[in-house]
Chain A
């Protein structure tokens, strides 16, 4: 047996792969569900917080900054564990799936709030003045003039953050979420072979490469003609 054959036997074992493919696929479905939920709620909540912050109500802003700084500093794993093992003492018993979703959504909310806020504040003051001088209200100016420009600035850092945090769905393993990595590692220990892990890696590539490509597409769409 050549070295290459041994390598293939170990990492790309057809029999093992065939046997655990259904498990990995069900893991893919769970990861997609979790990722979509995290992205939609996390970015949505982050945008909502950034908009609230733009109102400039001081006590509210302190609260927002406090929450955001907290979730930006804590490792997502700690948040998952706190929610999963901590909330039952408050009478709530979220599943591993819900705990992972909430934790990652909070973390993404915190980062995306900061990214949106940075985008909003970097839009030139003159844009506000021009819009307000034509009679647009604060809200109309924010929605029609400032946010479209803020989005354009926010998209590259937001994509990076979103991908990094959605890959954190793998942390769900510790609270028994059967997503890709969870399925792959249990298949690996059952079969004494790392091939399922390679399948898991392939699944992540298949999932996230389109996201990266889509992000590039959005970036070019939001860049205005010069």
Chain B
């Protein structure tokens, strides 16, 4: 990991191509990303580089632009300017087949967004059939395997309405990982959950992290960040204020704004 980080920062010896599957650079390389919503300047030139297998936590007050940044990475939001390269693919290039590229970028939402008219298995297999071009049989086998990974093999035939929030979020994770993405984006995955259901989702995320998935997580689950994150990025007012290892950010924040924010969320 240290080597990977050095490579990202342009430090250390240049690694041979494809070492650890590390191809031409970081898994996610966002540079000078700006986003305007009308007169509102939501992202003010954000740079974010994430190495393969790295887990980056993005924290910050609401309205700081962290969700928007995440959504710029798979072009759910079109950045006003800047560049976004994921797994070597220029996401913002109009010639890029964005639907194809999005298979490599899994996303999990705060409100789960499962398809209510389909079973858990139906949710997981839809893109496998329509985007990855799998037959129904193949898709179902892969879908069941994905549900197995999130511990919900026995809920394949349930509709979202019959599942708890935690189970729904795990199905949403299965829906994303079934496509074998190269990177996973989590947008406040546990914020809509009752406290007793948070653990099961974090457990799935931890297992995913251990399997070597590159992950970018917008969340305030500080305990999880401390244990699992390689790096914590603090954003405020559309810009990255500071970043570093979790211990450094949580215990010895360099900036006053970071300190104030960390103090606020730890008081609750």
Residues of A near any B CB (own CB < 8 A): 124, 126-127, 129-137, 140, 144-145, 148-149, 152, 224-226
Contacts and interface: CB of A to CB of B under 8 A. Distances in A.
The A contact surface, by secondary structure, is helix
A135 B172 contact: no
Interface in B148-177: 159, 161-162, 172, 175-176
Contact of B99 (A126, A130, A136): A136
Given A149-B117, A152-B117, A134 B161 contact: no
Contacts of B66: none
Given A224-B116, A226-B162, A133 B126 contact: no
A48 to B, nearest CB: 22
A130 B172 contact: yes
Interface residues of B, number: 29
Interface hub of A132, A135, A140 (most chain B Cβ within 10 A):
A135
A132 B116 contact: no
Contacts of B131: 134-136, 140
Interface string B104-141: 01110101011111000000001100111000000000
A136 B76 CA distance: 12
Given A127-B115, A129-B109, A135 B99 contact: yes
A133 B76 contact: yes
A130 B103 contact: no
B214 interface: no
Contacts of B162: 225-226
Given A129-B76, A140-B130, A144-B130, A134 B113 contact: no
B74 interface: yes
A133 B159 contact: no
B126 A144 contact: yes
Contacts, number: 76
B56 interface: no
Contacts of B100: 135
23 contacts: A126-B109, A127-B113, A129-B109, A130-B114, A130-B115, A130-B175, A131-B127, A132-B76, A132-B99, A133-B76, A133-B106, A133-B107, A134-B176, A135-B99, A135-B102, A135-B131, A136-B99, A136-B127, A136-B131, A137-B99, A144-B130, A145-B126, A224-B116
B179 interface: yes
Most buried by B among A129, A133, A137, A149: A133
A131 B127 CA distance: 8
B115 A145 contact: yes
B179 to A, nearest CB: 6
Contacts of A144: 126, 130
Contact of A226 (B102, B115, B159, B172): B159
Contacts of B103: 134-135
* Closest A-B pairs by Cβ, 7 of them: A226-B161, A130-B113, A134-B127, A135-B131, A126-B113, A133-B107, A135-B102
